[in-house]
Structure 1
Amino acid sequence: MLKTVSALFIPGGLVFCAALGFLRPHGSPPWAQTPISALPPIVLGFGVLFGWYVSSSRLILSLLVLALADRGLLLFPPIDPDPASMGPTVFAATAFLLPLNLLALSLVRDEALSTWRGIVRLAPILAQPFLVLWLSLPDQADLARALRQPLLPASLTAWSQVTQPALLAFLGALAMIGVRFACERNPLDAGALWALTASFTALHGLQYGWTPTNFFSAAGLILFLTLVQASHERAYRDELTGLLGKQAYEEALAGLGAKYTVAIVGLDQLKQYGNQHGKPVSEQLLRLVAPKIQAAAGQGQVYRLAGEEITILFPRKTATDTLVTLEAIRKAVDQFEGYVRGERVWEGSRSGTETLPLTASIGVAEAGTGKSSLSLVIKAAYRALYEAKGAGGNVVRRGTVAGEIAKPARAETGRIVAYSEFDA
């Protein structure tokens, strides 16, 4: 629960609260006004560059949507006293389209803007300013009036200048992205929620004299920071299970001393369930079991590198030191109760479902002498894992690291024996 709340509020919630404190009128001291005025171009520039670098059309197009909304409100203010002003129509159309655009961009698969899909997404966004201007023409007054048409009793929305169709669009977008975040806990969805909140504040605050540019900039900053956070997590964490990933594993290996233990955890029935029910079922099982392995691992560093096995490093530990922990992991997996209906997997009993029992085979090996290479220790752990599976599974087996023996080169060739030619 705490991790979910933290993922929701950091960094998006913190940035939004800071914006409420400092970006509203008289919210910041005079010396801070100049840096604050530089915030919009900085956010837009750095956001576009970073989005291009990481091939995120979602960030680039979201920043474009926010920038167009801001320019539209500044060029056509809704409080213009001129009866023929385009301001009210531009405001109503912008407030209605903004949440729909941010919702759509949060749902599509992210990829480079230079791809044909990125260009297809760019085209309707660039067309929307012309659509809004067309709606503002006197001949389209009846159509534009529909954007301000009350759908509920006026007393329910009297607190906001935002039109009722736009309010419903914001509520619908918040609800859909909120449900997706609750299911997947993706930081990008949390960022989209806070960006929508900041965008609504930009629109709603106009009636109080608040500058919309500041809060649109805050929305862009939230999207930028959450993409940075998500990119970091993708680099260091496995996307499926949330465990530490390959890059974190390689950095940990660089810091290993002469004394350490490696354990490989394999789920005995996972491949069988994948063949029987499909890959999505085996992936869901792995996602559900991974936190239990993480919780039972204690001081062990848990990684998923690829495939169905999970690797655990125990720095400065012997294999004997880790046996109690590995037995706890085995029991945690054995106590897991999985159920499947179709391609959906749950933990816990549900009527009309098929039971999916799971057990774990674990192979463990240590660098006991300090002369064994890491590759030999890992090979020994895998050999022990295969022995555990061959013995029926649901057991911990300890492997022995063989000594390194070099193959001598022929004297007449004079070639150097490569490391790969050493036998385990």
Structure 2
Amino acid sequence: MYLRLLLTFFIMFAGLWIPRFFAVLSTAQQEILVELPSILFMLVIILSHFFKQGRSGFIALLMLVAYNVIQQRLQTPLVVGSTLFEFYFLALLLPINLLLLLFLPERALFSLKAFSYHALFIIQASVFYWFIQPEQLPLIAHLFSILEPWLMAAGDFSVLPTILLGLLVCATLTATVLVLLRGESSDLACLSALLACTLTIIEFDTQWISLSMFLLSAVLLLLSILKRSHEQAFIDDLTCIPGRRALNSDMAQLSGKYCIAMLDIDHFKLFNDTYSHDSGDMVLKMVASQLAMVKGRGKVYRYGGEEFTILFKGKSASDCIGYLDEIRARIADYPFQIRQMLERRKASEENTRSTKLQDVEEVEKIVQVTISIGVAQSRSPVSPEEIIKEADKLLYKAKESGRNKVCA
């Protein structure tokens, strides 16, 4: 996530150099490019609906509206008519709405649950439309006479009052913190939109700056949707490692020498029944995190339930036994803590034979988690699916011989 975060900042700031390349294009090419961000934002909105990624869809909707406001309303000097007011309005509301989306629950873009989101945006758009009518110019001038001393109290930066710049920076920093804490692709996409908004407003006097920044934001939003869709298809939600579909895809590409290990958590059903399914989920997460550290360039997958698979390309079973035994021992020695809620009861004053709940005490307990492993290696003309079946038979042989073992 740190690398993706740094890459996002690098891409957006590198976009400040893009406008100089637009100047050498023909007028026809420039006209096509001006329409490109709108097309990409609409594509993101459509894909967000089909891929159930409402937050990315709302971000694209906000950016689409903001981009068209800039192109249709803010291409004249800011001193003309209500243009300066519209510029401030955009600089204030766009980052606030983008930041708000990070804290609101994700909703499908076209759903009844998202009606309140749409209503909020429509109200803001209606107020904006009412203010930009020519007959409202006296009201705007009056508002500026009231707000200007407050807005300009800290001076200005470029064409932007410092207080509004501070709002943009705070919104960007907040989004950055959320990206680091939650690590979600949609958060990173929102951060790219905030950076596009911030850099556009700061460099507003630069020709083609809005096209450059919003185009990059649209591309990153599109990539975010595709990446998240890939994760939903191939990454297991609970353990955050590749799942069965990813294993099947990788096995279809196998050739040459390889070996496959099948792993199963010992007595997992008993553990679930004793300590609860929540504790069982924590065991799965712990085992997955430990397996991810396996040596020998093994790739780990969640096969299903409490079963995992490790694929070693270019290695035989004898090459991998040491790696597998090391990871088996690592998991067996892991001090896995579980918390149990124990009810303490005392005799009732009215009837000493009956009991009533006195309080609930949380108790920590260290339990041992072990895995059994079966590993089989490739050989012609046996298919990878048959190798998995052989590894699975060896896995059950390891269980029958006492568990917490590697059988090859």
Using the alignment, how far apart are the partners of 2:269 and 2:181 within structure 1? Answer: 25
Which residue, out of 199, 202, 207, partners 1:201? 199
Is residue 57 of structure 2 the alignment partner of residue 60 of structure 1? yes
How far is the alpha carbon of 1:326 from its aligned partner? 0.7
1:229 corresponds to which residue?
227
Q: Equivalent residue of 2:236, what SS? A: coil
Cα–Cα, structure 1 residues 73 and 314, in superposed 2: closer, same or farther, change >3 Å? closer
Q: Does 1:241 align with 2:235?
A: no
2:122 maps to which residue?
A: 126
Classify the secondary structure of the residue corresponding to 1:255: coil
Aligned twin of 1:314: 312
Provide the rounded CA distance (Å) in 2 between the counterparts of 1:148 and 1:386.
77
Question: How far apart are 1:337 and its partner, in Å?
Answer: 4.3
Cross-structure match for 1:362: 372
Q: What is the SS of the residue equivalent to 1:313?
A: strand
Post-superposition offset of 1:322:
2.2
Match of 1:154 in 2: 154
Q: Verify: 1:86 aligned to 2:96, yes or no.
A: no
Q: 1:68 to 1:379 in 2, by over 3 A?
A: same
Q: Which moved more, 1:217-226 or 1:356-365?
A: 356-365
Unaligned regions of 5+ residues in structure 2, if any? 342-361
SS of residue matched to 2:263: strand
SS at match of 1:206: coil
Contact 2:157 2:202 in 1 (8 A): no
CA RMSD of aligned residues (A): 3.9
Paired residue secondary structure (2:157): coil
CA distance, structure 2, for counterparts of residue 175 and residue 281 of structure 1: 35
Match runs of 1:205-354 below 5 Å: 205-208=203-206, 211-256=209-254, 260-268=258-266, 279=277, 282-315=280-313, 317-339=315-337, 354=364
Query: What residue number does 2:350 align with?
Result: none
The one of 45, 48, 65 aligned to 1:48? 45
1:30 partner amino acid: V
1:115 has 2:96 as partner: no
Residues 259, 376 of structure 2: 8 Å contact kept: yes
Question: 1:165–1:253: structure 2 CA closer, same or farther, 3 Å change rule?
Answer: same
Q: Write 1 or 2 for the structure with the bigger share of strand.
A: 2
Which of the pair has the greater relative contact order for Cα pairs under 8 Å at 6+ separation?
2
Cα 1:368/1:80, change in 2 over 3 Å: closer
C-alpha contact (below 8 Å) 1:178/1:193 kept by paired residues = yes
TM-score normalised over the length of structure 2: 0.75
Deviation at 1:296, TM superposition (A): 1.5
1:179 is aligned to 177
Which amino acid letter does the alignment assign opposite residue 86 of structure 1?
A: S
Structure 1 length as normaliser, TM-score?
0.73
Q: Shift of residue 327 of structure 1?
A: 0.6
Give the structure 2 partner of residue 70 of structure 1: 67
1:192 to partner: Cα distance? 1.9
CA shift for structure 1 position 170: 2.9
Structure 1 unaligned blocks of 5 or more: 344-351, 399-424
Residues 21, 322 of structure 1: CA spacing in aligned structure 2 closer, same or farther, 3 A cutoff?
A: same
